[in-house]
Amino acid sequence: MARTPLTKPSRRPAPAEKRVRYSDDLIWGIHPVLALLTRHPHRITELILQRDRRGEGWQRLFAAAKEAQVRYTLVDRLVITGAPDGEPVHQGVVARGSVVDMVSFAELLAILSDGAGQTPPPRILACDSIQDPRNLGALIRSAYAAGIDHILIPRERSAPLGGTAAKASAGALAHVTISRVVNLRDALDSLKKIGFWIYGATAQPQAASIYEMDLTGPICLVIGSEEKGIRPLVQRQCDALIAIPMAGEIDSLNSSVAGAVIMFEMYRQAVAAAK
């Protein structure tokens, strides 16, 4: 009697399961996708939603998709494969598209020039060599919450502005103007020529306390990487180096945490000056 050969169980997903391959144009999570749907629906090329989700956030997602006339696919189960740090927490929503529309540096200068003389003055966050997308996203989230609408990042030595950064920004990427520049040092020099003060955040002992500095003018705040800080050539373009006084023995903070503290001190001073 012939034996039935053993067969391996199929590894193919069930028909109701949707597997999405991780890529830089993938965006996930309720807040990042909702922000993109609300402000820039034309950037979305694909929208996939898991059926079993409920809540206010989901109602807003469906309403935003309907209003923007963005078609979506409903699936029973959603899986993101190939992500470098394991499967992201997607909350049952995934979209493909462009997270941000970059503007050229010339366009950014024009925007800033148009805003000259406004109250409060325009502010910029320059991220020098921030290579962790979570830190970059968190910095942009804090910047937007602190009233900073313009972000400057170098073309090289910077984390991608993909789904991980979008998730960490909690939707803030859709609300800010971002410009990539070839040479950050030259960009800072151009900003100085139109009246900006360049302040570099550092833990160096000679840096001035943020609580002793006037942070109310048109300012570009430069935040460097956690490992090396601001690069020397970029630091030389800074009008002043500023630091956060700390009581403990730890001599530095995570770059996104330090940036948040400084940006909210800038916001506090701006609010006080406006009264």
In which element (H, E) is residue 134 found?
helix 133-145
Nearest-angstrom CA–CA distance, 190 and 248: 38
As a whole number, mean pLDDT of residues 211-228 equals 92
pLDDT tens, position by position, 151-196: 999 988 888 787 788 888 888 888 899 998 989 999 999 999 999 9
pLDDT classification of 256: cutoffs 50, 70, 90: very high
Nearest-angstrom CA–CA distance, 95 and 64: 14
Q: Which residue in 248, 223, 247 sits closest to 234, CA to CA?
A: 223
Predicted local confidence at residue 57, as pLDDT? 86
Q: Which two tokens stand for residue 80?
A: 């993101």
225-234 residues labelled b (16+ CB within 10 A) or e (exposed)? bbeebbbeeb
> Where are the domains positioned within the chain?
17-97, 105-274
pLDDT classification of 115: cutoffs 50, 70, 90: low
Please determine, for residue 100, whether its predicted confidence score (pLDDT) is greater than 90: no
Burial tier of 262 (Cβ tally within 10 Å: 0-12, 13-18, 19+): buried
Kind of pairing, strands 44-50 and 93-97?
antiparallel
Average pLDDT along the chain: 85
**Which of the two residues, 246 and 89, has the higher pLDDT score?**
246
In which element (H, E) is residue 112 found?
helix 105-114
As a whole number, mean pLDDT of residues 48-62 equals 86
Phi–psi pair at 47, nearest 5 degrees? -135, 125
Q: What does each C-alpha distance from 244 to 217, 221, 270 come to in angstroms?
A: 19, 13, 18
Predicted local confidence at residue 54, as pLDDT? 82
Q: Where are the beta strands (DSSP E) in 182-259?
A: 197-201, 208-209, 219-224, 240-243
pLDDT tens, position by position, 2-25: 444 444 433 344 447 788 887 777
CATH architecture of the domain with range 17-97 = 2-Layer Sandwich (3.30)
The reply to whether CATH 3.40.50.300 applies to domain 105-274 is: no
Name the residue type at position 86: G
As a whole number, mean pLDDT of residues 45-60 equals 86
Q: What does each C-alpha distance from 100 to 119, 131, 165 come to in angstroms?
A: 26, 17, 11
Predicted local confidence at residue 9, as pLDDT? 38
Helix locations, 227-254, DSSP H: 232-235
pLDDT tens, position by position, 68-85: 888 888 888 888 888 777
As a whole number, mean pLDDT of residues 34-50 equals 86
Predicted local confidence at residue 5, as pLDDT? 43
pLDDT classification of 251: cutoffs 50, 70, 90: low
